[in-house]
Each structure stands twice: as structure tokens, then as C-alpha cells.
Amino acid sequence: MNYTPDFSVVWANWPVLLRGLVVTIEIWLPSIAMGLAGGFLIAQARLSRRRWLSGGSLVYVELFRDTPVLIQLIWFYYAFPILVGVQLSPFAAALLGLTLNTSAYASEIFRGGIKSIHRGQMEGALAIGMSRAQAMRRVILPQVVKRMLPAFTNRTIEVAKMSSLASVISVHELMYQGRLLSSTYYRPFEILTAVAFIYLVLIYPGTFLAGRLEKHLARSS
Amino acid sequence: MTQHPILEIKGLHKRFADHHVLRGIDFSVAPGERVAIIGGSGSGKSTFLRCMNFMETPSEGEVWLDGTRIGTERNGRVTYPEKQLCSVRERLGMVFQQFNLFPHMTVIQNVMEGLVTVKGMPKAEARRIAEAELAKVGLSEKHDAWPGRLSGGQQQRVAIARALSMQPEVLLFDEPTSSLDPELVGEVLRVINTLAGEGRTMLLVTHELGFAYHFATKVIFLADGVFHEVGTPDEVLKNPQKPRTQDFLRRFGEFAF
């Protein structure tokens, strides 16, 4: 192998990669935030005694868990507009797909967490006069979040990585820019290595902080 | 003049699926009364207590608190608005067999929680009250401990302080010493006894018959979901009239020395 790597192509194009990174973050963080919120609501529906609610949310969860994410993103870009009669931008389609996908996975994490908290916790909260919503917010959720933090961290990381799939519906995020640059300059080795490295730098601090937070929260138990 | 009851139950039934646990109970508690409820396991005594503050929803019957009927009846169906249940539970403090302390909060936070979240009290004031309640149960030095670090007896005393913090009109104790090691039972019973000395209205479901005898103004023996025998501690515990009560007490006294 007598290939001489030349990373100057990466330096020369850093504004392009940076723009891609910004778009990646713009898909990643909102879809995590909205996905977690949606997941909490879907978990409530799953735990409901009303059949149509628990059944409906089960179907929702399985649809997203048992089909490839790639298909989901492409579907929201090409198929969903036919259904609703409104064309989505690639960015909107990716954001919608990733948000709904995250909500399905997050709902299972919430559901498992809520079920793992002993019934006595809810009763202890109700017995001092709390409403169900107050009990959920003050007593159940803090314990669920603590117990489920590793699962939520994994999901967050997973979504950061999944966001690269948005490149196939030409969202101008990091992966898209990387592929564009590598085919423009015929320097896939340097550029794709740099892109992978940027993902690593983006994701690792999250993993690190979550580990610290977990230790911090473990004090009380 | 007889005082009107603080708590009154009329025709209470409770069914779990096809299991008919409570089969028509009428009951009233006057302010200052201390009622001990005894009976075999599965007799429905915990369920009965839990129907008072709607930890269980009665299948049939009425619950009256201080002259007010709980729930709204419409077309023969009773609904219980959450707001009303919250205020009922605020007024009826409950202490559980398993303590049910919040493990993610320190001792003082546990006791302050209802004051801050439910009553909307400023934290400084809530802390002052919580400190007083903790002093009362003898745990002033444990403010900042995590519940998981305390003994069962200490945890139960924190739970009592938590219930007291809301200034309830009635206290409900659901087998408060049943999950404790024998040597820790005394410290909890002593606290309950102090509360009795203050003239509080209390309902106690218990297997501690000796304590029930000294504590209660009225004893109820529950069997098969009905009040089988009711009377003073002397009447029910020393001179029971019904064979079933006699049999129950005999089994408890079997290995006495």
C-alpha cells in the first residue's frame, strides 16, 4: 500500500463539515427531546386500562421497532406526503421519522421503568394528598429516570448515529456533506475518517457525562 | 350531646373480580376515638382501611367525612373526582406496612414533600414543621439520611412523621409493625402510643393484640368481610362472646407463657 494520506482536504473544507455537523445536531437533539416527551405519553397510553389506548400504542411501538429505520425515513419523505397531501422537506421528514422512532423506543423504556417502581410509591404519594400527576412528577418519574438512565443514554447515542441515515433523503447533515466531499475530491479515506472522528467527538462527551451522572445519582441508593 | 362522627361508612362492599372481600359494613368514628381492627389474614381488614382514603375504590356503599358524602352520584353510578380524593387523603393520614418512603429523597425531604407539593407551603416553613414532626418521632439526628440507610423501625417513624406533617384529622395505620423485626416493633408502638395520648383519632389494623388492648377505645374483629364482633377492648379481647372470635384469640394465645 503506497497511498499517502493528505488531510489538507479536510482542513480546506472544514466549514462544509461544520455546516453538516450543525444540521446533524439540529436533527439529533430535537428528535431526542420530542421523542422522549412523546415516549412518555405513549407509555401512559400503553399502561392505560382502556383497551383501545393500550392496544393502539402497542401497534405504534411495534411498527417502529420492527421495521428498518432506513425505510421509515424514506417512507416519511416519499410515501407520507401522498397520504396527507403535503410535501415535507427532507429535513422535516427526517426529523419526523426520527422523533416518532425515538418515541416508540423511549415509551418502552418509560413503561419498563414505571412498572419496575413498586406500587407502594404511588400509594405513598397519593396518601399525602398528591394528585396522580403530582405523584408521577415528584415521586415516580425521578426514580424512573434514575433507574433508566443507561437505557436513555443508549437511545440518545443510537439516534445520533441513526441521524446519518437522513443523508439518503439528502438532508445536508454531516454524513451527506462527507459523501459529497469524498466524491468531489476522490479522498474518501481522509474525509470519511474525519467524519467518523467528528461523530466520535460529538457522541463521546454524552456517554462520559451520563456515566458521571449515574454515579452521582447512585448516592441515594 | 353525642358528637357527630368524623368518619362514617354505610353499606360498604368491596369486590375484586369475583372475590367478595367486604360484605356490607356500617361504621362510624367519633373524634378522639381509637379503633383497633383485628382479624385473620384475608379477612379484609386492610382493604377496609384502604377504602377509607380510597386507596381502594368501594364497589358499593358510602363514605362520609365530617358530614360530607365523598363522591358524586349520578344515575346510580358514583364517581370520585380526583380533587376531592386528594383533599380526603390530605385529611386522613395513612401509614403503610411497607413504609413507602420515597427513596430518592432524604428523610427531611420526605416529610416536607406533602407540605411543599400539596399544600404549596414555602420551603422554610415546611422545613420547620418537618423538623418538629421528626423530633416528635425521635429522629431529629437523621434529617439528611437517605431512607435506605435507616432501620425498618426508623423508616416507619419517618413515615409517621410524614403523615403527621399534613395535620390530618384521622390517622390510618395499616399493620404498621408487621414487616418489622421483633426488636424494632416497640419503638414504633411507643410513637403510636404518644399520638394516642394527644387525643388523636386513629384507626389501627394490627396483629399486636396486646398493644390493641392498651391502645384502643374500640376493638373490631373482622371475619368474612363483616364486623363479626365489636366492643371495648375488654369485651372483645378478654370476654369475646362469639365462638369465632374466641377461636381467633385462642390461636393467638396458644404459645403465650
pLDDT band at A221 (very low <50, low <70, confident <90, very high): low
> Given an 8 Å threshold on Cβ–Cβ distance, is B89 in contact with A126?
yes
Domain range annotation of chain B: 7-100+171-253
For residue A214, the model assigns a pLDDT of 80
Residues pairing with B13 in the sheet: B23, B60
Cα–Cα distance measured from residue A46 to residue A113, given in angstroms and rounded to the nearest whole number:
13
DSSP secondary structure of B26-75: EEEE-TT-EEEEE--TTSSHHHHHHHHTTSS--SEEEEEETTEE-SEEET
Cα–Cα distance measured from residue B58 to residue B52, given in angstroms and rounded to the nearest whole number:
9
Cβ–Cβ contact B167 with A under 8 A? no
* Residue of B54, B83, B87, B117 to mutate when probing chain A, most A C-beta within 10 A: B117
A2 within some domain: no
The sign of the torsion formed by the CA atoms of B241, B243, B248, B249 equals: positive
Other C-beta atoms within 10 Å of A76: how many? 24
> Given an 8 Å threshold on Cβ–Cβ distance, is B162 in contact with A125?
no
> Given an 8 Å threshold on Cβ–Cβ distance, is A124 in contact with B163?
no
Give A118→chain B minimum CA distance, Å.
9
**What stretches of B71-225 adopt beta strand conformation (E)?**
72-74, 77-79, 92-95, 170-174, 201-205, 218-223
> Given an 8 Å threshold on Cβ–Cβ distance, is B96 in contact with A124?
yes
User: Which CATH number goes with the domain that contains A56?
Assistant: 1.10.3720.10
> Given an 8 Å threshold on Cβ–Cβ distance, is A138 in contact with B113?
yes
Average pLDDT over residues A205-217: 83
The sign of the torsion formed by the CA atoms of A178, A182, A187, A188 equals: positive
Q: pLDDT below 50 — which residues of chain B?
A: 1
Give me the phi and psi of A83, to 5 degrees please: -70, -45
Q: Element (H or E) spanning A155, and its range?
A: helix A141-162
Q: What is the DSSP letter of A3?
A: -
Chain segment A137-148, per-residue pLDDT in tens: 999 999 998 888
**What stretches of chain B adopt beta strand conformation (E)?**
7-16, 19-29, 34-38, 60-65, 68-69, 72-74, 77-79, 92-95, 170-174, 201-205, 218-223, 226-231
The answer to whether the beta carbons of residues A133 and A57 sit under 8 Å apart is: no
DSSP H helix total and E strand total for chain A: 11, 0
Give A130→chain B minimum CA distance, Å.
6
Nine-digit cell string for B119: 399544600
* Residue of A121, A126, A128 to mutate when probing chain B, most B C-beta within 10 A: A128
Total number of domains constituting chain A: 1
Q: Name the nearest CA neighbour of A39 among A139, A159, A123.
A: A159
Residue with cell 382479624: B39
Residue with cell 405504534: A60
For residue B1, the model assigns a pLDDT of 44
For residue B179, the model assigns a pLDDT of 94
Cα–Cα distance measured from residue B237 to residue B219, given in angstroms and rounded to the nearest whole number:
8
A220: pLDDT strictly greater than 70: no
pLDDT band at A209 (very low <50, low <70, confident <90, very high): confident
Regarding the domain delimited by B7-100+171-253, which CATH topology (the fold level of the hierarchy) does it fall under?
Rossmann fold (3.40.50)
Q: What percent of chain A has pLDDT over 90?
A: 84
119-148 of B, contacting A, C-beta below 8 A: 146, 148
123-152 of A, contacting B, C-beta below 8 A: 123-132, 134, 138-139, 142-143, 146
Q: Which residues of B touch A129 (CB under 8 A)?
A: 86-87, 89-90, 114, 118, 166
Q: Name the nearest CA neighbour of B136 among B197, B211, B191.
A: B191
For residue B52, the model assigns a pLDDT of 95
pLDDT band at A217 (very low <50, low <70, confident <90, very high): confident
Q: Which residues of A touch B96 (CB under 8 A)?
A: 120, 123-124, 127
The answer to whether the beta carbons of residues B44 and B14 sit under 8 Å apart is: yes
Chain segment A2-47, per-residue pLDDT in tens: 888 889 999 999 999 999 999 999 999 999 999 999 999 999 999 9
A3 within some domain: no
State which residue of chain A sits closest to B146, comparing Cα positions.
A220
Domain of residue A67, residue span: 8-220
* Amino acid letter, A145: V
Chain segment B136-181, per-residue pLDDT in tens: 999 999 999 999 999 999 999 999 999 999 999 999 999 999 999 9
Q: Is B154 left (phi over 0), alpha (psi -120 to 50) or beta?
A: alpha
Q: Which residues of B touch A130 (CB under 8 A)?
A: 86, 114, 117-118
Cβ–Cβ contact A216 with B under 8 A? no
Angle between helix A90-116 and helix A51-65 axes, rounded to 10 deg:
120
